[in-house]
Amino acid sequence: MNLDFSAEPTFSWYVVMLAVSGIGTLLATVFVRGTRPRDRVLGGIIALAMVGYAFYLTFIFSGGTYHIFFYVFILPILFIVQAMKAAVAGRRSGG
């Protein structure tokens, strides 16, 4: 396992936050109703990509260059907000 908070704290925290963001997005995709199917599929793909990259960096990555994508922390927030708005709008319209 590549997580070592004492030797590489930036890398380790990035991987943890990447996994948490992916899982949060996946949970929002699965449990929040009222979103369009296209948005649910897109959210699922993004979530699985984040969790997959976190898994790769944790268990398969053997050193060298890795990429830190800061937008992966913004995308889940935007997706969750959009999903919540759609759910509220769906409840107001009776659907």
Is position 41 within any domain?
Answer: yes
pLDDT for position 91 = 73
pLDDT of residue 59 exceeding 90, the answer is yes
Question: Is the CB of residue 60 less than 8 Å from the CB of residue 29?
Answer: no
- The reported pTM is 0.78
pLDDT for position 68 = 85
pLDDT of residue 32 exceeding 90, the answer is no
Is position 3 within any domain?
Answer: no
- Greater confidence (51 vs 77) lies with 51
Residue 55's domain comprises 11-78
Mean pLDDT to the nearest integer, 15-37:
84
**Length of the chain as a residue count:** 95
Domain tally, the chain? 1
pLDDT of residue 95 exceeding 60, the answer is no
Is position 31 within any domain?
Answer: yes
Is position 28 within any domain?
Answer: yes
From residue 48, alpha-carbon distances to 43, 52, 54, 85 in Å are 9, 6, 10, 23
